[in-house]
C-alpha cells in the first residue's frame, strides 16, 4: 500500500465510507482529517519527507502553505528540503482575510519576491484553494515551480494542467463527490458527519 495512505490510516486521518462536507462545499465520501495526523510529529515529519522526495530535483527557495493546515506541512517540508539542499529553505504561510481570501501578512510577501516557491497542501477536493495560493504567489513576484499534496481526491480535474506547474501528489484516491443540491448521500438519508469537515456549518446554514 502507498506509504502516505498507510500513515494516514494509522493515525486515524484517512476516513472513508462516510458523508462529509469539504471546504469547497462539495459533499464527499472520503475525508482526510489532517488534524489527526498533525498530533503525531514523527508521522507528520515522514509524510513531508516523502513530499521532499517528490520535489528534490526542483530549484526551491521557499515552501508556502495556506493556513491553517498548510503551515505545518510547509514547516516540515522546508526543514527536510534544507537538509537535502544544504541551504536554508524558508517556510511561509498565507492567511485568509475577512473576505475569506488568502493573502500574505506579516511581511511574508517580501520574502517570496524573485524566489522559487513550492506550494504544499493537504488533500484538495477541487484544488481551487491551492490554485488561489499559486496565483497569489505569482502575482506577488514569486515563481511557483511545483505543487505537492498529501492526497489528491480528484485526479481527473486536479492536475498539472490545472495548476500550470508540475503537480506531485503523494497519493491519489477515487472519491464520490456531489454538489449539495445533487448529493446522492443526502437523497439516501445518509447522515452528514458533523464532527469532521464542514458538515455542522452546512446543516446550520440550512435551518
Mean pLDDT of 32-46: 96
CB 20 within 8 A of CB 27: yes
CATH number for position 157: 3.40.50.2020
CB 60 within 8 A of CB 118: yes
Whether the model clears a pTM of 0.85, i.e. scores above it, the answer is yes
Q: Please state, rounded to an integer, the average pLDDT across all residues of the chain.
A: 93
Q: Work out how many domains the chain is built from and give that number.
A: 1
Strand pairing report for 31-32 and 14-15: antiparallel
Give the lowest-confidence range in 36-45, 47-56, 91-100, 164-173.
Answer: 91-100
Residues of the domain holding 135: 3-205
With residue 168 as reference, give the H or E element that holds it: strand 167-172
Q: Tens of pLDDT along 93-135?
A: 999 888 888 899 999 999 999 999 999 999 888 889 899 999 9
Give the burial class of 172: count Cβ atoms within 10 A of its Cβ; 0-12 exposed, 13-18 middle, 19 or more buried.
Answer: middle
Mean pLDDT of 158-165: 96
pLDDT score of 24: 81
pLDDT score of 176: 86
Q: Tens of pLDDT along 167-187?
A: 999 999 988 889 999 999 999
Amino acid at each position: 500500500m502507498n506509504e502516505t495512505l498507510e500513515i494516514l490510516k494509522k493515525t486515524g486521518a484517512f476516513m472513508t465510507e462516510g458523508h462529509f462536507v469539504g471546504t469547497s462545499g462539495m459533499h464527499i465520501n472520503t475525508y482526510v482529517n489532517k488534524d489527526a495526523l498533525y498530533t503525531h510529529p514523527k508521522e507528520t515529519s515522514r509524510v513531508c519527507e516523502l513530499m521532499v522526495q517528490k520535489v528534490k530535483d526542483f530549484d526551491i527557495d521557499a515552501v508556502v502553505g495556506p493556513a491553517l493546515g498548510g503551515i505545518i506541512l510547509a514547516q516540515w517540508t522546508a526543514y527536510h528540503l534544507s537538509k537535502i539542499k544544504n541551504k536554508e529553505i524558508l517556510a511561509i504561510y498565507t492567511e485568509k482575510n475577512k473576505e475569506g481570501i488568502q493573502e500574505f501578512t506579516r511581511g511574508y510577501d517580501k520574502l517570496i519576491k524573485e524566489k522559487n516557491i513550492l506550494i504544499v497542501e493537504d488533500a484538495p477536493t477541487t484544488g481551487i484553494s491551492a490554485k488561489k495560493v499559486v496565483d497569489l504567489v505569482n502575482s506577488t513576484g514569486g515563481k511557483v515551480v511545483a505543487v505537492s499534496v498529501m492526497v489528491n481526491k480528484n485526479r481527473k480535474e486536479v492536475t498539472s494542467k490545472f495548476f500550470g506547474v508540475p503537480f506531485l501528489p503523494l497519493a491519489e484516491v477515487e472519491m464520490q463527490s456531489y454538489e449539495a443540491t445533487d448529493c446522492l448521500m443526502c437523497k439516501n438519508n445518509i447522515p452528514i458527519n458533523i464532527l469532521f469537515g464542514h458538515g455542522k456549518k452546512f446543516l446550520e446554514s440550512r435551518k
